[in-house]
Structure 1
Amino acid sequence: MRNSVAAVIVSVSLGGCTAGVATYGFSPNLEPIPGSITYRGQPRTKLTKAPVGSIVPHEFRDQFGRRVSEIYVIQPDRSLRLVSRRRQTFDFFDDD
Protein backbone atom coordinates (compact mmCIF):
# COMPACT_ATOMS: atom_id res chain seq x y z
CA MET A 1 0.00 0.00 0.00
CA ARG A 2 2.78 2.44 0.92
CA ASN A 3 4.63 1.70 -2.33
CA SER A 4 1.57 2.42 -4.46
CA VAL A 5 0.92 5.73 -2.66
CA ALA A 6 4.57 6.70 -3.09
CA ALA A 7 4.43 5.79 -6.79
CA VAL A 8 1.35 7.98 -7.29
CA ILE A 9 3.01 10.92 -5.53
CA VAL A 10 6.17 10.56 -7.62
CA SER A 11 4.24 10.31 -10.89
CA VAL A 12 2.12 13.36 -10.07
CA SER A 13 5.23 15.32 -9.09
CA LEU A 14 7.07 14.39 -12.28
CA GLY A 15 3.98 15.15 -14.35
CA GLY A 16 3.94 18.63 -12.90
CA CYS A 17 7.60 19.13 -13.85
CA THR A 18 7.04 18.37 -17.51
CA ALA A 19 3.93 20.52 -17.62
CA GLY A 20 5.91 23.43 -16.16
CA VAL A 21 8.27 23.44 -19.12
CA ALA A 22 5.40 23.67 -21.57
CA THR A 23 3.74 26.56 -19.76
CA TYR A 24 6.97 28.59 -19.58
CA GLY A 25 6.58 29.52 -23.23
CA PHE A 26 9.20 27.44 -25.05
CA SER A 27 8.33 27.36 -28.70
CA PRO A 28 10.33 26.46 -31.79
CA ASN A 29 8.59 29.11 -33.94
CA LEU A 30 8.62 32.34 -31.92
CA GLU A 31 8.79 35.46 -34.07
CA PRO A 32 10.71 38.51 -32.82
CA ILE A 33 8.68 41.55 -31.80
CA PRO A 34 9.80 45.20 -31.55
CA GLY A 35 12.39 45.25 -28.76
CA SER A 36 13.66 41.72 -29.40
CA ILE A 37 17.38 41.34 -30.09
CA THR A 38 16.66 39.70 -33.45
CA TYR A 39 13.75 41.95 -34.48
CA ARG A 40 15.54 43.43 -37.50
CA GLY A 41 17.72 40.37 -38.12
CA GLN A 42 20.70 38.91 -36.32
CA PRO A 43 23.02 41.24 -34.40
CA ARG A 44 26.03 42.48 -36.38
CA THR A 45 28.56 41.30 -33.81
CA LYS A 46 29.15 37.58 -33.51
CA LEU A 47 29.18 36.02 -30.05
CA THR A 48 32.57 34.35 -30.49
CA LYS A 49 33.50 33.80 -26.84
CA ALA A 50 30.23 32.32 -25.62
CA PRO A 51 29.93 28.53 -25.93
CA VAL A 52 27.39 27.08 -28.36
CA GLY A 53 24.18 26.35 -26.49
CA SER A 54 24.64 29.22 -24.03
CA ILE A 55 21.52 30.99 -22.86
CA VAL A 56 21.18 34.75 -23.40
CA PRO A 57 18.41 36.42 -21.39
CA HIS A 58 16.91 39.72 -22.59
CA GLU A 59 14.34 41.98 -20.89
CA PHE A 60 12.57 45.03 -22.30
CA ARG A 61 9.21 46.80 -22.32
CA ASP A 62 6.84 46.37 -25.26
CA GLN A 63 4.81 49.12 -26.90
CA PHE A 64 2.11 48.71 -24.23
CA GLY A 65 4.54 49.10 -21.33
CA ARG A 66 4.47 45.45 -20.32
CA ARG A 67 7.72 43.85 -19.20
CA VAL A 68 8.86 41.17 -21.65
CA SER A 69 11.48 38.52 -20.85
CA GLU A 70 13.01 36.54 -23.70
CA ILE A 71 15.53 33.73 -23.77
CA TYR A 72 17.87 33.12 -26.70
CA VAL A 73 20.22 30.19 -27.36
CA ILE A 74 23.51 30.56 -29.22
CA GLN A 75 23.54 28.33 -32.31
CA PRO A 76 26.62 26.60 -33.84
CA ASP A 77 26.88 29.36 -36.50
CA ARG A 78 26.92 31.94 -33.62
CA SER A 79 23.45 33.27 -34.45
CA LEU A 80 20.77 33.66 -31.78
CA ARG A 81 17.60 31.57 -31.72
CA LEU A 82 14.62 32.89 -29.75
CA VAL A 83 13.27 30.01 -27.66
CA SER A 84 11.09 31.63 -25.01
CA ARG A 85 9.07 34.77 -24.34
CA ARG A 86 7.10 35.75 -21.24
CA ARG A 87 5.00 38.87 -20.80
CA GLN A 88 4.26 40.26 -17.37
CA THR A 89 0.84 41.82 -17.39
CA PHE A 90 0.78 43.48 -13.95
CA ASP A 91 3.51 45.46 -12.18
CA PHE A 92 2.20 45.58 -8.61
CA PHE A 93 5.57 46.07 -6.95
CA ASP A 94 7.56 47.64 -9.78
CA ASP A 95 9.62 50.73 -8.94
CA ASP A 96 10.80 51.38 -12.53
Structure 2
Amino acid sequence: MKHALAALTVALLLGGCTASGQTYGYSPNLEPIPGSITYGGQPRTKLQKAPVGSIVPHQFFDQFGRQVFETYVIEPDRSLRLVSRRWRNIDAFGGFDD
Protein backbone atom coordinates (compact mmCIF):
# COMPACT_ATOMS: atom_id res chain seq x y z
CA MET A 1 0.00 0.00 0.00
CA LYS A 2 2.86 2.37 0.82
CA HIS A 3 4.42 1.77 -2.60
CA ALA A 4 1.13 2.43 -4.40
CA LEU A 5 0.64 5.68 -2.49
CA ALA A 6 4.21 6.76 -3.26
CA ALA A 7 3.77 5.92 -6.96
CA LEU A 8 0.51 7.88 -7.08
CA THR A 9 2.15 10.89 -5.43
CA VAL A 10 5.04 10.85 -7.91
CA ALA A 11 2.65 10.54 -10.86
CA LEU A 12 0.61 13.52 -9.65
CA LEU A 13 3.72 15.64 -9.14
CA LEU A 14 5.07 14.81 -12.59
CA GLY A 15 1.68 15.53 -14.14
CA GLY A 16 1.66 18.93 -12.48
CA CYS A 17 5.11 19.71 -13.88
CA THR A 18 4.00 18.93 -17.41
CA ALA A 19 0.86 21.04 -17.14
CA SER A 20 2.69 24.06 -15.72
CA GLY A 21 5.32 23.88 -18.48
CA GLN A 22 2.68 24.26 -21.17
CA THR A 23 1.27 27.29 -19.39
CA TYR A 24 4.59 29.08 -19.80
CA GLY A 25 5.01 28.32 -23.49
CA TYR A 26 6.78 24.96 -23.44
CA SER A 27 4.75 22.92 -25.85
CA PRO A 28 5.48 20.55 -28.71
CA ASN A 29 2.96 22.35 -30.93
CA LEU A 30 3.82 26.06 -30.62
CA GLU A 31 2.70 28.16 -33.57
CA PRO A 32 4.82 31.11 -34.74
CA ILE A 33 3.51 34.61 -34.04
CA PRO A 34 4.42 37.88 -35.81
CA GLY A 35 8.09 38.45 -35.01
CA SER A 36 8.97 34.75 -34.79
CA ILE A 37 11.76 33.55 -37.08
CA THR A 38 9.44 31.00 -38.68
CA TYR A 39 6.39 33.28 -38.98
CA GLY A 40 5.35 33.01 -42.63
CA GLY A 41 7.48 29.89 -43.20
CA GLN A 42 11.04 28.73 -42.72
CA PRO A 43 13.87 31.23 -43.29
CA ARG A 44 15.31 31.29 -46.81
CA THR A 45 18.86 30.75 -45.63
CA LYS A 46 19.73 27.39 -44.14
CA LEU A 47 21.94 27.09 -41.09
CA GLN A 48 24.67 24.99 -42.71
CA LYS A 49 27.42 25.14 -40.09
CA ALA A 50 25.37 24.71 -36.92
CA PRO A 51 25.14 21.11 -35.70
CA VAL A 52 21.78 19.35 -35.75
CA GLY A 53 20.11 19.78 -32.37
CA SER A 54 21.70 23.18 -31.73
CA ILE A 55 19.61 25.69 -29.84
CA VAL A 56 18.88 29.06 -31.46
CA PRO A 57 17.59 31.78 -29.09
CA HIS A 58 15.51 34.66 -30.48
CA GLN A 59 13.95 37.68 -28.80
CA PHE A 60 11.69 40.48 -30.03
CA PHE A 61 8.81 42.72 -28.93
CA ASP A 62 5.26 41.68 -29.84
CA GLN A 63 2.43 44.00 -30.89
CA PHE A 64 1.43 44.43 -27.23
CA GLY A 65 4.86 45.73 -26.19
CA ARG A 66 5.86 42.56 -24.37
CA GLN A 67 9.36 41.20 -24.77
CA VAL A 68 9.20 37.69 -26.25
CA PHE A 69 11.90 35.06 -25.80
CA GLU A 70 11.76 32.06 -28.15
CA THR A 71 13.96 29.00 -28.45
CA TYR A 72 14.38 27.00 -31.66
CA VAL A 73 16.14 23.70 -32.34
CA ILE A 74 17.88 22.91 -35.65
CA GLU A 75 16.32 19.82 -37.23
CA PRO A 76 18.21 17.26 -39.40
CA ASP A 77 16.80 18.88 -42.58
CA ARG A 78 18.23 22.25 -41.34
CA SER A 79 14.80 23.71 -40.62
CA LEU A 80 14.00 25.38 -37.31
CA ARG A 81 11.51 23.95 -34.82
CA LEU A 82 10.02 26.32 -32.24
CA VAL A 83 10.24 24.61 -28.85
CA SER A 84 9.53 27.32 -26.27
CA ARG A 85 8.23 30.85 -25.84
CA ARG A 86 8.20 33.16 -22.81
CA TRP A 87 6.91 36.71 -22.39
CA ARG A 88 8.10 39.56 -20.22
CA ASN A 89 5.94 42.65 -19.73
CA ILE A 90 7.56 46.08 -19.75
CA ASP A 91 5.98 48.76 -17.55
CA ALA A 92 5.36 52.38 -18.54
CA PHE A 93 8.70 53.51 -17.05
CA GLY A 94 10.87 51.10 -19.05
CA GLY A 95 11.28 48.52 -16.30
CA PHE A 96 10.16 44.93 -16.33
CA ASP A 97 7.06 43.47 -14.69
CA ASP A 98 7.99 39.96 -13.63
Structure-2-length-normalised TM-score:
0.66
Which aligned segments of 4 or more residues in structure 1 are displaced greater than 2 angstroms?
1-9, 20-25, 38-46, 81-88, 90-94
Q: Does residue 6 in structure 1 map to residue 6 in structure 2? A: yes
Asked if 2 retains the 8 angstrom alpha-carbon contact of 1:30 and 1:84, the reply is no
Match of 1:17 in 2: 17
Structure-1-length-normalised TM-score:
0.67
Once the two structures are aligned, what percentage of the paired residues are identical? 62
The alignment of Structure 1 onto Structure 2 pairs a total of residues equal to: 92
Q: Does residue 70 in structure 1 map to residue 75 in structure 2? A: no
**What SS does the corresponding residue of 1:64 show, helix, strand or coil?**
coil
Which runs of no fewer than 5 residues in structure 2 stay unpaired? Answer: none
Q: Describe the shift of the 1:62–1:80 C-alpha distance in structure 2 as closer, same or farther (beyond 3 A).
A: same
Match of 2:80 in 1: 80
